[in-house]
Amino acid sequence: LGVGQARAYYVTVDAHAEECFFEHVDAGTKLGRLGLSFQIAEGGFLDIDVRIVGPDAKVIYEEERLTSGKYSFAAHTVGTYSFCFSNKMSTMTPKVVMFDVAVGEPPKPAEGETANKLEDMIRELTASLTAVKQEQDYMQLRDRIHRAINESTNSRVAIWSGFEAVVLVAMTMGQVFYLKRFFEVRRVV
């Protein structure tokens, strides 16, 4: 029974660095419904360069400055595929990348071979559970990002409110002293 595999990782890619991860794939294996899916969790403008290279050193997929993405393909050659995340364009900000590589099951049996209905149901259930797990990971990451944005906004609002309160008190005191001077009676001796 060929059941697909999925692995999810959180990695930190330092500024001016590139991190590569490797996956061995048999010929004809489809790299899951999602293949490679990734999301930038933290760092700078939340962008990174992505590259997938086949065992023959040919670039299969390459994009620059992506915040998230999903890419799948069928492996036509046996060997080790590399999935690289490059932060070379960043001058000082490391990036935290959440990604998963889903390696699908081997090709379905040929027409002459019989497939058990129970095995087919297990494959479908496994694929559905993998998709649910990936969606859950994605939602947890989005929650983490939104929480950080909300906390940052909250602290900025609190600081700005404190600054406004100080300015308001200073303006009030200035007006009181100005008006006091206005109503002072000055005697000429």
What CATH number corresponds to the domain at position 87? 2.60.120.380
Q: Is residue 171 part of a domain?
A: no
| Other beta carbons within 10 Å of 149 | 10
Report residue 22 as tokens: 């490797």
Residue with token string 């944005």: 149
> What is residue 28's predicted lDDT score, i.e. its pLDDT?
65
Share of the chain above pLDDT 70, in %: 85
Alpha-carbon gap, residue 125 to 120, rounded angstroms? 9
When divided into structural domains, the chain yields a total of 1
Whether the predicted pLDDT of 17 surpasses 90 = yes
pLDDT tens digit sequence for 95-126: 999 998 877 765 565 555 566 889 889 988 98
Alpha-carbon gap, residue 153 to 115, rounded angstroms? 56
Whether the predicted pLDDT of 11 surpasses 90 = yes
Report residue 164 as tokens: 């406004």
Coil vs helix vs strand at 113: coil
Helix (H) / strand (E) element for 100: namely: strand 95-103
Q: Is residue 136 part of a domain?
A: no
pLDDT tens digit sequence for 26-79: 766 665 544 788 989 888 888 999 999 989 999 999 999 999 998 888 877 788
Burial class for 82, CB neighbours closer than 10 Å (0-12, 13-18, 19+): middle
- φ, ψ of residue 172 to 5 degrees: the values are -60, -45
> What is residue 88's predicted lDDT score, i.e. its pLDDT?
94
> What is residue 106's predicted lDDT score, i.e. its pLDDT?
54
Alpha-carbon gap, residue 81 to 53, rounded angstroms? 6
Q: Is residue 160 part of a domain?
A: no
Q: Is residue 99 part of a domain?
A: yes
| Better-scored residue on pLDDT, 187 or 121 | 121
> What is residue 33's predicted lDDT score, i.e. its pLDDT?
47
The residues near 33 (Cβ < 8 Å, ≥ 6 apart) are: 72, 102, 104, 127, 131
Q: What is the extent of the structural domain holding 85?
A: 5-107
Name the pTM for this structure.
Answer: 0.68
Q: Is residue 157 part of a domain?
A: no
| Better-scored residue on pLDDT, 173 or 107 | 173
